């Protein structure tokens, strides 16, 4: 979460939401600016794919623009927005399963070094550190991709998007206990995956 404090305050500003809800285009634009990164990152972590993440983000905000007037409780905006995003993510997932086409980019590389790691993210940081960081991120992302979609949703929402269990339950329209249970097994699954790949705090300690 790299948002600045004023941004976070604005993201939950009832006044802004109210104005957007009443059709204020500027307020809606502001909402998109504030939430775009969150929704994009949610979708990116879910798919580990930039294009799909962009697609889902755009669809989510188009849908937000159309349906915002129907949202009566501004307090529920966050979970409402994630509901839309999750639904589009699931839709894309179904499409990909239906078409059964596997991109070579997404092919699991196993223990081998993926060429994807070689792509530069273009940050003007220490290149070696940057590369190591990218490698680590991709490695962890691959671990995340090994979880089931249901567990992945919950883990991302909780761990990276910082939603409360209640909000996740609202967003996914399941009970809070189900969410907690999925979270538990998600973490458990991750632990096993990390062990399998021999990624521990000790092996990565120098990077953390």
Partner 1 sequence: MSYKPDEGTLVAYLYGELDAAETERVRQYLEQHPQIREQLQQMGDVRKLMGALSDVEVIAPPVFVDHQQNSTPFWKAGYFKITIGIAASLLFLLVAARLIGPEVTYSNGELRISFNNTTPIAEQEQQLTANEVQHMINQSLVKNNETIAGSWEASNQKIRESLQRNLDNNSARIDKLMAVASQASQDQVRTFVAGLQEENLKLMKDYFQLSAKDQQMYVENLLVDFTKYLQEQRKQDLLLFQVRMNSIEKNTDQFKQETEQILASIISNPEGAIRKVNNY
- Judged by the rule CB under 8 A, the positions of this chain that interact with partner 1 are 1-2, 23, 25-26, 28-29, 32-33, 36-37, 40-41, 44-45, 50, 57-58, 133, 136-137, 140-141, 143-144, 155, 158-160, 164-165, 176-177, 180-181, 183-185, 187-188, 190-191, 194, 199-201, 204, 207-208
Q: How far is the CB of 177 from partner 1 (least distance, A)?
A: 5
| Residues 86, 171 contacting (CB under 8 angstroms) | yes
Burial class of 203 by CB neighbour count within 10 A (0 to 12, 13 to 18, 19+): exposed
CB nearer to partner 1: give 92 or 152: 152
CB nearer to partner 1: give 97 or 177: 177
Q: Say how many C-beta atoms besides its own lie within 10 A of residue 158's C-beta.
A: 20
Q: How far is the CB of 94 from partner 1 (least distance, A)?
A: 24
CB nearer to partner 1: give 51 or 97: 51
Q: How far is the CB of 74 from partner 1 (least distance, A)?
A: 19
Residues 6+ apart with CB under 8 A from 80: 71, 170, 171
Q: Which helix (H) or strand (E) holds 15?
A: helix 14-21
Q: How far is the CB of 79 from partner 1 (least distance, A)?
A: 15
Mutual angle of helices 77-99 and 50-67, in 10-degree steps: 130
């Amino acid at each position: 979460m790299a948002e600045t404090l004023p941004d976070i305050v604005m993201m939950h500003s009832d006044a802004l939401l109210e104005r957007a809800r009443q059709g204020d285009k500027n307020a809606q634009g502001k909402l998109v600016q504030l939430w775009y990164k969150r929704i994009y990152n949610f979708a990116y972590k879910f798919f580990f794919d930039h294009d799909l993440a962009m697609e889902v983000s755009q669809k989510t905000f188009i849908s937000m623009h159309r349906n915002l007037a129907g949202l009566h409780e501004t307090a529920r905006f966050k979970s409402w927005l994630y509901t839309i995003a999750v639904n589009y993510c699931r839709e894309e997932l179904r499409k990909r399963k239906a078409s059964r086409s596997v991109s070579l980019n997404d092919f699991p590389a196993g223990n081998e070094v993926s060429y994807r790691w070689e792509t530069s993210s273009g940050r003007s940081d220490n290149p070696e550190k940057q590369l190591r960081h990218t490698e680590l991120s991709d490695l962890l992302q691959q671990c995340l991709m090994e979880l089931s979609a249901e567990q992945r949703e919950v883990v991302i929402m909780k761990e990276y998007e910082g939603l409360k269990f209640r909000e996740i339950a609202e967003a996914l329209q399941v009970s809070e206990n189900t969410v907690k249970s999925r979270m538990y097994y998600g973490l458990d699954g991750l632990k096993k995956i990390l062990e399998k790949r021999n990624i521990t705090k000790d092996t990565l300690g120098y990077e953390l």
